[in-house]
C-alpha cells in the first residue's frame, strides 16, 4: 500500500501544495487573520510546511521525527489564539490549494479529513 506521500506525488507535489497554501493565504482576504499570525517573509514558513507534510505523509525525514506529531504542533502554536475562525481560514487555504493543484477528489477528501482533525486539535480558543 502506498503512503500518502507517494499518493500525493512526493516532495515535488508537497512543495507545490505548501507554496500554493501560502499563495492562497496571501491572496484571499478571507484568510487575513491567519495571515497576520505569520511573519511577513513566508520563505521559512513555506519550507517548514513542505518538510512537515513530507514527513507527516510518510516521506523522508526532513523535519524531525520528534516534531511530526499532533502534541508538538499544538505546543508550537499555543502562543496564538486559534479559534474556529482561524481554523476555518487555515482550512480554506489548504482546501483551495489542493483544489487548485487538481489533487484527485477522493485524495483531497482524505487529506481534508486529516487536516481538519489536526487543525481542530490545535484550536485553543473558543
The string of pLDDT tens digits covering residues 7-37 is 999 999 999 999 999 999 999 999 999 999 9
Give residue-wise pLDDT tens across range 40-97: 999 999 999 999 999 999 999 887 776 667 788 888 889 999 999 999 999 999 999 9
Q: Which CATH number fits domain 4-122: 3.90.1200.10, 1.20.210.10, 1.10.490.10, 3.40.640.10?
A: 1.10.490.10
> Rounded to whole angstroms, how far apart are CA atoms 101 and 12?
12
> Rounded to whole angstroms, how far apart are CA atoms 7 and 25?
25
> Rounded to whole angstroms, how far apart are CA atoms 66 and 73?
10
Based on the number of CB atoms within 10 Å of its own CB, is 53 exposed (0-12), middle (13-18) or buried (19 or more)?
A: buried
Residue count of the chain: 126
Amino acid at each position: 500500500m502506498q503512503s500518502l506521500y507517494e499518493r500525493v506525488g512526493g516532495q515535488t507535489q508537497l512543495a507545490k501544495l505548501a507554496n500554493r497554501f501560502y499563495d492562497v493565504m496571501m491572496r484571499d482576504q478571507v484568510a487575513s487573520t491567519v495571515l497576520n499570525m505569520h511573519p511577513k517573509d513566508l520563505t521559512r514558513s513555506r519550507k517548514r510546511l513542505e518538510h512537515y507534510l513530507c514527513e507527516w505523509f510518510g516521506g523522508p525525514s526532513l523535519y524531525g521525527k520528534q516534531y511530526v506529531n499532533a502534541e508538538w504542533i499544538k505546543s508550537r502554536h499555543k502562543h496564538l489564539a486559534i479559534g474556529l475562525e482561524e481554523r476555518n481560514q487555515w482550512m480554506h487555504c489548504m482546501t483551495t490549494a489542493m483544489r487548485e493543484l487538481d489533487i484527485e477528489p477522493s485524495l483531497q477528501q482524505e487529506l481534508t479529513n486529516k487536516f481538519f482533525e489536526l487543525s481542530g486539535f490545535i484550536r485553543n480558543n473558543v
